Structure 1
């Protein structure tokens, strides 16, 4: 196997020292499903005349996909895996896979030869995903040892579940099979990540398609029916080893961020809301003897609010829940970023001691009640809030977008959520957050679509797992 891609880094330190990103890829979707969703390319080179502008745009050939999470076909973990092949040039971080959370289609875009003009390479239809893996509603993907791991929320055909992981071929992107061989008690799905050196995969839970696609269902939330467990698996065998219940009141265990240190055995999971008090939380998993233990290390309380200022879904509670919808861990494992979409806040925690995070920075944008403006447009009250968060490899730049999921946007921001992307600067050692006033693609820049996730040229803090120290 020949590997020539310079964006495959042997260690976190090598990734941090690599050239910084000049482009960001952003998926944008049309809530109505009448316009095609799109892959936008944003110039993030601070000395460029196009800085902060959308410089590339590719419409999907279909409608109604609702692009959500997406990712690269390959990352630094390929340095440890065998069996990868992409032709004479070897395996490269070249293709972006764009799953449609509503359509179950996956569009594959080639970023070569022009990084600003990705071109459609292949479309994987929902029927192939269902027939070969037994899944639907693809969500999150990572390049792994046996193929591209693709988490899915739903089962095939009329089956609402169980959700799980489909494997795709590294080179052809054909759907190979379901990854699990023994799922144990796992039924709900959301995210999956791993500790490669420990041969352990970790997965989390949201809900089946019927539980999420029309918005948050109060009866399910108060009945504590959404996901509240973490699952630990044998990565090579696809076998469930252990399931840890965080407590049924801790509803919707979503994003997983394992340590980037390949020898480490800990990571963080974000929990959207507690039915006990509307707080949100972050939990740390870590090795405990032969098994795994999970502890709550961050709690973010709700904020009291006048019911008249709240959307109908929240008026009975008289408060704004933080709604932690994303977290991201810097490549050096020193800073954790926590998106509080409901209150419109991005929090920064020093996690040099992962068992005792310490808040060192915060910025506000949007929010259900606050509607905090961006400094580039101080008269515009923003809807949405910091939602998906992506951190540059060197830890100096944080990118956020404001849309969570179409039906949930509408539920919590019934007057419209708009579309915006922001960049926040930080000192990766001391902390502290500063909104970049020059960078604010929004609304018409996204051509009537909502902005969701960001991927950075050459990889980012949530793209890669590293094999060596």
Structure 2
């Protein structure tokens, strides 16, 4: 009789995951929206430092359709499969669930038997997604213990309805339906995460499709019509329990990063821009007296710049806002990485005390004005630190430069190409660009990164370190 064992990339605790072998390759979403004859692709990048092909694209798997605009894809299964209340230990971290935010299409991509040569095993067409979930514009994928969760920005029937979350079956990838039973007054959607041990899901707010698909709408931004709230849900009952408004000026509450240790009930949220002073900010959510609270713990100011140096979208402000577009938290909950896509900086904060972060490292590359080159590149770079991914052991950080095609063109109108870089981490704090790792994707832009075997923004853990 065969002995069933959990996938070796599943770990009960964050500390055990940090002892995992180093990643050997990355899967990277490559975007060609606007190039009418070019589909998006999933690229496989060699991360094995002992390999002759280190830092190159090993394989490029073109998708069968044009115009998907791939976004925040994820694994079908992860360490949450070991959680005791909904165990699925015989799932495999095998399939990538890849959403097209423009097409509302989902691809199921098999990374076995050859992880460097992934293949499409199923396509869920937009008509099926919308008919079964009630949603459109799928955005973020997370592997939960009981299902695959997918956030969506719009409804199937139009743009006036609320965005939210729908679920896929772990095994068949069938669309199970919408997740919410009672959403209260929640209307805007974006990211979501959870505290599994407390049966709490947290969700953030970006915008409705007409506010992002053709670019940032300045009038809506200045009128504070983008998202500025955080929602706390009863995960088991699928009901909205509490909403916190950060203040209407805090526009676009995007990425959420809860503490990985299940004994900790706090997390970090990034805010793209304040309409009062163009600053970006990082907030901490936590519990006090049975209620959730939010505190702003980091403020990142804009950089004054002469009007003639700015793209049209920023000329009226005579400054470059940081435009914090992603944040990521190391598995030991010690370092928070913050992407400043506008100013071209990746910031590292020591958040051992989450209420008193300390800036511990910084690298500069790209940026609206500076366009700072990489040591291995010989020309100014467009774009800036955007999607960030941290290795499980916390020693390496990777990031790409594209935010969203129409927004790229607004803030970097010279038509950016795509690039991916690596940052090496000092265990005591401090970061530096790896001078030998620079992946140039040419005209193809790149967004989300997933690392072999898991990474710091993939897995949830139900056992403490």
- The answer to whether TM tops 0.5 is yes
Matched with 1:459 is: 454
Residue in 1 that maps onto 2:337? 337
Q: Is the 8 A contact 1:74 1:91 kept in 2?
A: yes
The 1:3/1:153 distance shift into structure 2, 3 A limit, reads: farther
> Which residue in the other structure is 1:402 paired with?
401
Distance 1:123 1:364, change over 3 A: same
What is aligned with 1:161?
161
User: Which structure 1 residue ranges, 5 or more long, are not aligned?
Assistant: none
Q: Write the deviation string for residues 217-252 of structure 1: whole angstroms up to 9, x where unpaired.
A: 011000000000000000011100000000000000
Structure 2: 5+ residue runs without aligned partners? none
TM-score normalised by L of structure 2: 0.97
Distance 1:84 1:57 in 2: 34
Contact 2:257–2:268 at 8 Å: present in 1 too? yes
> Aligned equivalents of 1:41 and 1:157: distance in 2?
36
CA contact (8 A) 1:85 1:170 kept: no
CA distance in 1, matches of 2:158, 2:254: 24
Q: Assess if the C-alpha contact under 8 Å between 1:389 and 1:399 holds in 2.
A: yes
Q: How many residue pairs were aligned?
A: 461
Counterpart for residue 31 of structure 2? 29
Aligned pairs for 1:143-182 within 5 A:
143-182=143-182
- Report if the CA contact (8 A) 1:182-1:239 is conserved: yes
**Residue of structure 2 in register with 1:14 after alignment:** 16
SS of equivalent to 1:381? coil
CA contact (8 A) 1:324 1:341 kept: yes
Q: Which position in structure 2 is the counterpart of 1:108?
A: 108
How far 1:443 sits from its partner (Å)? 3.2
Secondary structure at the counterpart of residue 131 of structure 2? helix
Q: Deviations over 1:378-433 (max 9, x none)?
A: x31000000000000110100010000000000000111111000000123x1111
| Alignment match, 2:441 | 443
* TM-score of the superposed pair, with normalisation by structure 1: 0.97
Root-mean-square deviation (Å): 1.3
CA distance in 2, matches of 1:4, 1:146: 16
Structure 1 residue ranges (4+ consecutive) displaced by more than 6 angstroms after TM superposition: 82-86
Alignment deviations for residues 170-213 of structure 1 (CA, whole Å, 9 cap, x no partner): 11111011000000110000000000000000000000111111
Identify the residue that residue 425 of structure 1 maps to in structure 2.
Answer: 424
Equivalent positions of 1:380-391 (< 5 A) are 380-391=379-390
Residue in structure 1 matching 2:46, options 43, 60, 66: 43
CA distance in 2, matches of 1:166, 1:449: 30
**Distance in structure 2 (CA, Å) of the matches to 1:145 and 1:4:** 14
1:81: Cα distance to partner? 5.5
Q: Distance in 2 between matches of 1:224 and 1:32?
A: 29
Partner of residue 69, structure 1:
72
Alpha-carbon shift at residue 31 of structure 1 (Å): 2.1
Q: Which residue number in structure 1 is paired with residue 314 of structure 2?
A: 314
